[in-house]
Structure 1
Amino acid sequence: MPAVAASLFLAACGAEAISSAPSPEAAEQALACEAAPSKPPVSNGLPDVSLPCLGDGPDIRLADLRGPLVVNVWAQWCGPCREEAPYLAELQRKAGGKVKLLGIDYADPRSELAVQFAREHGLAYPHLVDAEKAVQQPLKVGGPPLTAFVDEDGKVVYVHRGVLKSQQELDQLVQDKLGVTL
C-alpha cells in the first residue's frame, strides 16, 4: 500500500499532459504537490529534507519518495535548464505513469518566474523550492541542472550532472538506470 500511495503522490500531480498553452487552472494543478506517506530514510537515498511546493500543496520530505523517479534540479535563470526542459516534458508525456518526475527549483530568488518557466515549458509535474540549497551537499549540486534517478526502493542509483543533451540520452538513462523502457 505505501508504494501505491507514493505513486499517487506524483502521479496525481501532473498525470495529464499540458499543451504549450495550458489554462492557468490546469498549469496550477500540474504544479501542485500531495504529501507522500512517511517512510524511513534509505541508505543512498534522497536527503532527509523537506521542501515547500512551488505550486499548491504541502512541504514534501524527499526521503519519503520512491521510484522509479526522475528528480531534476533546475532554476529559471539557468540557460542549460531551458535547453533540457523539452526533454523532461516529453519524458513525462511518454512515461504514462511508468516513471514519476519531480522538479526542484534551486537557489532561485524569483519563484513567480519559476512558476512561469515550468508553465512555458510544459513541465506538468510537481516542483519543490530549494531556496536555501538544502540538497546542495547531499546531492553534490555544483549548480543546475542536475538529474537524479531514484529506484523503486528509494535509492539514488545515478546522478547526471549538467545538461541533458537529447531526448535519446534521457530515455536511455531511464532505461539503463531505472529499468523502464518507454
Structure 2
Amino acid sequence: MRRPLVALGALALVAGCSIGTPPGDDAAGDGQTVPTTQSNVDVDTPELREAKAAAGIADCAPGDATDGGLPDLTLPCLGGGPDVRLRSLKGPMVVNLFAQWCEPCRDELPYYQRLHEEAGDKLRVVGIDYLDTQPDGAIELAAQTGVTYPLLADPGGALRQDFRVRGLPGVVFVDADGEVTNPGGRPTFTVIRSYSQLTDLVREHLGMAL
C-alpha cells in the first residue's frame, strides 16, 4: 500500500507565501476550480485500515454536544472508524487542517503530535485531511511524521464554505463550550514553525499554558 507521496504542494505554493494551495484550485492561477462537498474518494478500505493500524493512529471519537460552534457537518474517519459530526465536539481542542499535497504541513505536523503527547487529557488534538484525493498518502504522511492523534477526512472540501479555506495549513481552536475562538470563527491559515509558536497560540486562544 505504501507509495511515494505526490509532491503537489511544491507546485501549488502561492508566490511569496508558504501556504499550500489545493491542486487545481483557481487560486493557483490555472483557471480551474475544485469540486467541493461531492467526492467518490473512499477513505475506509481494508488497505487503509491496515495502514492506519500500522501507523498507530487513534480512532475518531464523536462527541456528545448538540450546539457546538464548529460547522454542522459530519466527516468520515480517515482509515476507518466512526463518522464524526463536528458540531458534537467540544474542547479544549486544537484542530489542524492538512493534506498530503501540502508541503508546509509536513514540517508542522510533528509539533501537533508533540502537543497531543504533552497536553494529555487537558487538550485534544484532531486532524482533518482536507480536499485530499489520496488518503493512502495522507496516512503515509502521518506515519512518516509520527502523527497518532485522530484524523478525519474531508476529500470533497465540505469545510470550504464555512471556513473559507483557500490554502493549507490551517488551525482551529475550540474552547470547552465548543466555540471556535479564532477571529471570525474561522481557521487561522499560518505555518507553525516551532512548538513554542503553537503553545503560544494555545495560550492566546484557549487560555491554557502548557
> What TM-score do the two structures reach when normalised by structure 1?
0.80
- Offset at residue 34 of structure 1 (A): 2.6
CA deviation digits over 1:127-161, x for unaligned, max 9? Answer: 11101111111112112111000000011001321
Q: Which residue pairs with 1:34 in the alignment?
A: 61
Q: Which residue pairs with 1:13 in the alignment?
A: none
**Moved runs in structure 1, 4+ residues, more than 6 A?**
none
Higher strand share: 1
Partners of 1:76 and 1:114 within 8 A in 2: yes
Query: Matches of 2:135 and 2:98 in 1, distance apart?
Result: 12
Q: Percent identity, aligned pairs only?
A: 44
Partners of 2:62 and 2:89 within 8 A in 1: no
Q: Which is worse superposed, 157-166 or 66-75? A: 157-166
Aligned alpha-carbon RMSD (Å): 1.6
Supply the AA of the counterpart residue of 1:34: A
Q: Which residue pairs with 2:142 in the alignment?
A: 118
Is 2:188 the partner of 1:160? Answer: yes
Q: Which residue pairs with 2:101 in the alignment?
A: 77
Query: Matches of 2:53 and 2:72 in 1, distance apart?
Result: 31
How many residue pairs get aligned? The number is 156
Decide which structure has the larger Cα Rg and report it: 2
Alignment of 1:89-168 (within 5 A): 89-158=113-182, 159-168=187-196
- Offset at residue 26 of structure 1 (A): 5.7
CA deviation digits over 1:1-29, x for unaligned, max 9? Answer: xxxxxxxxxxxxxxxxxxxxxx974634x
Q: Which residue pairs with 1:51 in the alignment?
A: 75
- The secondary structure found in structure 1 opposite 2:140 is helix
